[in-house]
Chain A
């Protein structure tokens, strides 16, 4: 199903979209797919991905909310689960018995915002946990073991912004660190000196949006790098000479939206690519046409279509990947460049 295009000695890594690929949005199928996900999984599949369970729940619930189907999920059970995942230190883990981490602390707070119930957990302790992970140079460790990554800077400020506690950390220092990860191509990497990567760029532009520092981005340069991620099939890749992937419809598109350059790509072609990644039988989206579907790509497929203006889906916020109406309720409106 995947193939390479060859022409005149030059090759482009891309896929070909078959004429019979899905071309309309199968929302009901996707809602059924997410609603059933988890109940039919065997032990093996479940254990394999348990280390990221909390984020998995966030992906599933957010896409259900964007499709207006959140009520089909088991609210009480999920909130109890999150409570059981908060640790003494305040941090939240991916699942019960796992160790706490910023990644899952953010996912848990996002879920509780969808349910308008952040008080289910000890918010002050969450704030203390996040605050305690900031380093002298302004960066954030993902957990007590000290790994540094700009992803964690995003998790920290996103968590605190959703809780209205951004003033609890040293924002200036945090900004300083993220800016040291900016590269000559306008993009960002995981640490100073690391390669630009669309996922890290999303985190860093999102971070600068939440901290009110978007003017620090070179929007023309970054926009150029981002729009060059679009391939002949219409799909977006995350770095030069990589295959297109539905999740980059989100990381790249959301970054373009934040810096106000979304019109620099061919939206119609991207829509065609995203729709072709649906599975007509099972529902859900895969990374590329014909591959296995999963909740991760299903959220980012649907969220991407929302950013492209699909009116069957609720408007999504490009910084936090949550429905705009939820953020209005929280009272958070992250900056976008105009």
Chain B
């Protein structure tokens, strides 16, 4: 084992080189870790590369970290010169061992700004650090900075191209396509990094709030991406029923998607205030009976009808989203009783529903047209209970819908053929759900009550 300062110097420089070489030898390293090993054995390197896993023997970390740490701080105080290559190597080693060392990430930001570092290699370093430290706030913060730089470049390119319109239209198209492909790849990669970190540490606040940030900045208003996220999250939350952060993310997605869909519906209905629905008796009759929603006739070709159809499609999609979410939540509560997370999710879904309905009522009472037909199966206030009983014969049981996928074009075709839509969330059905849970004996009084 190294003892004198010079010996430590030599040892550490060799280890830093070994780490750099390991990455050159295998650019696909996907996980890092410390191998418990209190003392150096034989005369071999403490850096171990097995398949795509990079390990550092624990005995050397105690020398390695203070050494690279101090070296960087001396550089920062202009007391010691390091060339760019050395800076890249030292900050990598440092951040893999101690990823919350903010200043080391800042040095890399400067290297990125002067083009010495490739942003994707930097994101990769962060990804590796997260395999060992999945919460590391500074690693997530740095990722957001790198992504913001990239987004800034994308928007700069598309702006400058727009100004030169006409001359290079062909090149334009290709470049924009390339950029958008690149953006899509990065988005996909970020989602993967977030998922990995979420699996490594339960209720990982930093991972999930990063994922929200990514959607807000890289896929704002992109209903398709949000839809896909919502679908793919279904399995994840079902397997992590106590992960409050994962469920919060789902709530975020639901809210975003509903906002998008409501805007589509509201925007279209503003174009057609005089027709929909009050002055259009034939359509009115289509929507009133026992929760069924009929679309316009297939062969009807006028624009108005198409727009109406679009409005209906958005409204029915919203209704189905709520229905499926409540059903998922009910299933999970019944299968995994007693999880605070599941009940808090249920509360938020109802809250969203309540607000959407309130906004809708507000919109109507202000003399506007119907923005979103969310309450087609909701009778007017006061008579709700009676009406639902009449419509469904007894306590409303939501109808069976395809639970594996979110509403899509096929659903809309079914709607056109007059397939029943599920009942909207309401108070009596919720009360009966809670009664069923309480009666089922799944929940007993906890011992401290």
Chain A residues within 8 Å of B, Cβ to Cβ: 5, 7-13, 42-44, 46-48, 50-52, 93-94, 96-99, 101, 142, 145-147, 184-185, 189-191, 193-195, 197, 228, 232, 239-242
User: Bound complex: CA of A184 vs CA of B61, how far in Å?
Assistant: 45
User: Bound complex: CA of A242 vs CA of B65, how far in Å?
Assistant: 32
B65-A98 in contact (CB<8A): no
User: Bound complex: CA of A13 vs CA of B101, how far in Å?
Assistant: 31
Indicate whether A51 sits within 8 Å of B446 (C-beta atoms), given known contacts A10-B337, A97-B73, A195-B205: no
B444-A185 in contact (CB<8A): no
User: Bound complex: CA of A230 vs CA of B371, how far in Å?
Assistant: 43
Q: Which residue of A lies closest to B355 (CB)?
A: A184
The count of chain B contact residues (Cβ–Cβ below 8 Å) is 52
Chain B neighbourhood of A46, CB < 8 A: 66
27 pairs of residues in contact across A and B, judged by CB atoms under 8 Å: A7-B447, A9-B338, A10-B337, A10-B338, A10-B446, A12-B338, A44-B61, A44-B66, A47-B70, A47-B98, A51-B102, A96-B73, A97-B74, A99-B103, A145-B106, A147-B144, A184-B352, A185-B348, A189-B209, A190-B205, A191-B209, A191-B213, A195-B244, A239-B205, A241-B242, A241-B339, A242-B203
User: Bound complex: CA of A242 vs CA of B341, how far in Å?
Assistant: 10
Interface of A is mostly: loop
Asked if B305 is an interface residue, CB under 8 A from chain A, the answer is: no
Asked if B384 is an interface residue, CB under 8 A from chain A, the answer is: no
Asked if B23 is an interface residue, CB under 8 A from chain A, the answer is: no
Within 8 A of A (CB), among B49-67: 61-62, 65-66
Chain B neighbourhood of A48, CB < 8 A: 65, 98
- Checking B73, B252, B341, B442 against A240 with a beta-carbon cut-off of 8 angstroms, the contacting residue is B341
Chain B neighbourhood of A44, CB < 8 A: 61-62, 65-66
- Checking A97, A146, A242 against B145 with a beta-carbon cut-off of 8 angstroms, the contacting residue is A146
Chain A neighbourhood of B155, CB < 8 A: none
Indicate whether A147 sits within 8 Å of B208 (C-beta atoms), given known contacts A11-B338, A184-B351, A240-B344: no
Min C-beta distance of B444 to chain A, whole Å: 4
Within 8 A of A (CB), among B149-176: none
B446-A190 in contact (CB<8A): no
Chain B neighbourhood of A185, CB < 8 A: 344, 347-348
Chain A neighbourhood of B340, CB < 8 A: 228, 240-241
A99-B203 in contact (CB<8A): no
Chain B neighbourhood of A147, CB < 8 A: 141, 144-145
A7-B444 in contact (CB<8A): yes
Indicate whether A99 sits within 8 Å of B106 (C-beta atoms), given known contacts A197-B205, A232-B446, A241-B203: yes
Min C-beta distance of A48 to chain B, whole Å: 6
Chain B neighbourhood of A191, CB < 8 A: 209, 212-213
User: Bound complex: CA of A98 vs CA of B347, how far in Å?
Assistant: 45
Asked if B122 is an interface residue, CB under 8 A from chain A, the answer is: no
Min C-beta distance of A165 to chain B, whole Å: 26
User: Bound complex: CA of A142 vs CA of B70, how far in Å?
Assistant: 24
User: Bound complex: CA of A43 vs CA of B98, how far in Å?
Assistant: 14
User: Bound complex: CA of A145 vs CA of B142, how far in Å?
Assistant: 9
Tell me which of B70, B145, B444, B448 has the highest count of chain A C-beta atoms within 10 A of its own C-beta.
B448
Tell me which of A13, A101, A193, A232 has the highest count of chain B C-beta atoms within 10 A of its own C-beta.
A193
Tell me which of B61, B103, B341, B351 has the highest count of chain A C-beta atoms within 10 A of its own C-beta.
B103
Chain B neighbourhood of A42, CB < 8 A: 62
Within 8 A of A (CB), among B327-378: 337-341, 344, 347-348, 351-352
Asked if B313 is an interface residue, CB under 8 A from chain A, the answer is: no
Chain A neighbourhood of B248, CB < 8 A: 195
Chain A neighbourhood of B448, CB < 8 A: 232
User: Bound complex: CA of A252 vs CA of B276, how far in Å?
Assistant: 50
User: Bound complex: CA of A284 vs CA of B61, how far in Å?
Assistant: 27
Indicate whether A194 sits within 8 Å of B61 (C-beta atoms), given known contacts A8-B444, A239-B245: no
Indicate whether A146 sits within 8 Å of B148 (C-beta atoms), given known contacts A12-B446, A241-B244: yes
B337-A241 in contact (CB<8A): no
B76-A51 in contact (CB<8A): no
User: Bound complex: CA of A101 vs CA of B141, how far in Å?
Assistant: 13
User: Bound complex: CA of A194 vs CA of B98, how far in Å?
Assistant: 26
User: Bound complex: CA of A46 vs CA of B61, how far in Å?
Assistant: 13
Chain B neighbourhood of A47, CB < 8 A: 65-66, 69-70, 98
User: Bound complex: CA of A50 vs CA of B242, how far in Å?
Assistant: 34
Min C-beta distance of A232 to chain B, whole Å: 5
Asked if B443 is an interface residue, CB under 8 A from chain A, the answer is: yes
User: Bound complex: CA of A239 vs CA of B144, how far in Å?
Assistant: 24
Within 8 A of A (CB), among B99-116: 100-103, 106, 109
User: Bound complex: CA of A212 vs CA of B98, how far in Å?
Assistant: 39
Q: Which residue of B lies closest to A190 (CB)?
A: B209
Chain A neighbourhood of B103, CB < 8 A: 51, 93, 97-99
Indicate whether A9 sits within 8 Å of B351 (C-beta atoms), given known contacts A51-B103, A98-B102: no
User: Bound complex: CA of A122 vs CA of B444, how far in Å?
Assistant: 61
User: Bound complex: CA of A239 vs CA of B340, how far in Å?
Assistant: 10
Indicate whether A99 sits within 8 Å of B337 (C-beta atoms), given known contacts A145-B109, A147-B145, A197-B205: no
Q: Which residue of B lies closest to A242 (CB)?
A: B203
User: Bound complex: CA of A8 vs CA of B337, how far in Å?
Assistant: 9
Chain B neighbourhood of A228, CB < 8 A: 340
Chain B neighbourhood of A96, CB < 8 A: 73, 77
Within 8 A of A (CB), among B80-111: 98, 100-103, 106, 109
What 5 A-B pairs have minimum CB-CB distances, sorted nearest first? A10-B338, A97-B73, A195-B248, A43-B66, A241-B242
User: Bound complex: CA of A129 vs CA of B347, how far in Å?
Assistant: 42
Asked if B216 is an interface residue, CB under 8 A from chain A, the answer is: yes
Given contacts A47-B66, A195-B249, A241-B341, 13 further A-B contacts (CB under 8 A): A7-B444, A7-B446, A10-B338, A42-B62, A51-B138, A94-B102, A190-B205, A194-B209, A195-B205, A195-B245, A241-B242, A241-B244, A241-B340
A9-B442 in contact (CB<8A): yes
Min C-beta distance of B120 to chain A, whole Å: 19
Chain B neighbourhood of A239, CB < 8 A: 203, 205, 244-245
User: Bound complex: CA of A47 vs CA of B98, how far in Å?
Assistant: 9
Indicate whether A97 sits within 8 Å of B205 (C-beta atoms), given known contacts A7-B444, A145-B145: no
